[in-house]
Structure 1
Amino acid sequence: MTQSDPGALQGRTIIMSGGSRGIGLAIAVAAGRHGANVALLAKTDQPDPRLPGTVHTAVEEIEAAGGKAVAVVGDVRKEEDVARAVATAAEHFGGIDIVVNNASALNTAGTADLTPKRYDLMQQINSRGTFLLTSTALPHLRASDHARILTLSPPINLAPHWLGRFPAYMLSKYGMSLLTLGWAAEFADAGIAANCLWPQTTIATAAVINLLGGEQAAARSRTPEIMADAAVAVLSRPAHVTGRTFIDIDVLAEDGITDLSPYGGGDDPELDFFVDPS
């Protein structure tokens, strides 16, 4: 039985960190297809030869899908850029209903090999960026009758093999999750739903291809559209659905989608970080 309201995003305004490509872009395009407005805060003003897409081409894709969008070139680590993005979204679309914390830095080095600079980068983009965007948008969320926070971060898996594999990255991602679960509790009486979403498997993005195994790894990864469909489903659920760390396939199963073959990945897709075999 479907748990989500397919029309819930019509006319709603999303502010998202990142979103020029990959999972964030797929979520933004899917939301646009459901009639949402999307404001993107991203640094990619100019094309990068190693990575497809800019914040401007992302806007074009969202609008081609049927949504409305605005680009804000900026850095989620900078308070003035986040404030400008929030103000732009509110002025452009009349408010903000949804915050999607998508921007994230990945470094899988162990403690002995990770420089303090790289450590700081992950904490600043991942957990601090999540805090900064959400807290800055909070007055608009309080004014919305469909206030939602969605953070792309994992369930808190305390198995030693995940705690010890790359502690700095783990800390930054678990920080995103803990903040979001904290907001679910903090803002329960305000009707602001806060949830996390994480893929069961690796997702075929530039990060996987460039950092985690190239085309071979991408072949065992599902497409970003699985996260997009799951994100739209979570954001379309009622406000009492809050304080959850969702895995994409579980969300889809709750909406009656069990055939995952359209999302690729083959018969034996690679499990993502922090996900153990069921």
Structure 2
Amino acid sequence: MNSLNNRTVFITGGSRGIGRAIALACARQGANVVIAAKSDTPHPKLPGTIHSVAEEIRAAGGQALPLVLDVRDEKLVRERVDEAAEHFGGIDVLVNNAGAIRLTGVENLKASRYDLMHQVNARAVFLCSQAALTWLKASDNAHILSLSPPLNLNTKWFAQYGPYTTTKYAMTMLSMGMAEEFKRYDIAVNCLWPKTLIATAAIEFELGGPQMMAQGRKPEIMADAAVSILNRPGTSLTGQALIDEDVLRDDGVTDFEQYRYAAGDRPLLPDLFLD
């Protein structure tokens, strides 16, 4: 495997949860990590800001650049990507981690919430990838990694929360398209999704609270899988919607108990979109 040492990784929504875990995993390999998120000041309920994560990145052995970014703002996306590239001398990796969720059907979902999910999920993959493309072309091992699921057309995934499902699937479809479109530039484009629920604020506040978190895994499993993907050379792996556990099993990992969020033997819950 190649190392991420001295490579520049631009992560959206990286101030907490899976994004933070990926940032720290990259930092431990000596990466320059750009934390691009909205959380400039502490949230009363949610720990972590771009600045606190930047300190953790430096402590883990990486270089950090915290940037305030709302991925819905096209002009700001371009400015922040260019600022990061100029600061570190380029961009090698884009991780589309920022996300919005509301598990509600069409009947009861406000249009404004649908717009938010579309903009933060699908549209941001388009905007950020397009903005980073010039810099990724110049890298000798460029990757785009989006946190979105394999396409599963079982209607149960559309029945209760079709709006959210379609925005996440759009991320995957855009990634599949970019994998083919950018192959000529030797830019690898993949998606990554967890096999089980990941214990994050989204689970705690949007889905099922602490009880559901206890049936999930730590964000670190996604981080370890992401780093494995980002270490692959060139386009040896591209156009795939990958599952974290499968990636790590391919690397020879057999002990997944280390990733369990809560001690005990409660059954882990599979994540959305996986039958």
Q: TM-score, normalized by length of structure 2? A: 0.97
The residue number in structure 2 matching 1:99 is 94
The residue number in structure 1 matching 2:57 is 62
Would you identify which runs of 4 or more consecutive aligned residues in structure 1 move more than 2 Å?
none
Give 1:29 shift. 0.4
The residue number in structure 2 matching 1:268 is 267
Distance 1:248 1:35 in 2: 22
SS at match of 2:65: strand
The residue number in structure 1 matching 2:3 is 8
The residue number in structure 1 matching 2:106 is 111
**What is the aligned counterpart of 2:144 among 140, 149, 172?**
149
The residue number in structure 2 matching 1:160 is 155
Gap runs ≥5 in structure 2:
none
SS at match of 1:113: coil
The residue number in structure 2 matching 1:192 is 187
Distance 2:158 2:201 in 1: 25
Distance 2:241 2:86 in 1: 31
Give 1:211 shift. 1.3
Aligned runs of 1:64-103 on 2, under 5 Å? 64-103=59-98
State which drifts further: 156-165 or 27-36.
156-165
CA deviation vs aligned residue, 1:9-41 (integer Å, no higher than 9, x gap): 111101111100000000000000011111121
**Number of equivalent positions:** 271
Give 1:213 shift. 1.0
Distance 1:237 1:267 in 2: 34
Counterpart check, 1:211 vs 2:206: yes
Give 1:163 shift. 2.4
SS at match of 1:112: coil
Aligned runs of 1:43-62 on 2, under 5 Å? 43-62=38-57
Distance 1:231 1:181 in 2: 17
Query: Which amino acid letter does the alignment assign opposite residue 263 of structure 1?
Result: Y
Contact 1:39-1:85 within 8 A present in 2 as well? no
Counterpart check, 1:178 vs 2:176: no
Aligned runs of 1:232-247 on 2, under 5 Å? 232-238=227-233, 239-247=235-243
Contact 1:12-1:36 within 8 A present in 2 as well? yes
Give 1:267 shift. 4.8
Contact 1:41-1:82 within 8 A present in 2 as well? no
Q: TM-score, normalized by length of structure 1? A: 0.96
SS at match of 2:107: helix
Distance 2:77 2:37 in 1: 10
Give me the identity figure in percent. Answer: 52
**What is the aligned counterpart of 2:252 among 243, 248, 256?**
256
Query: Which amino acid letter does the alignment assign opposite residue 110 of structure 2?
Result: T
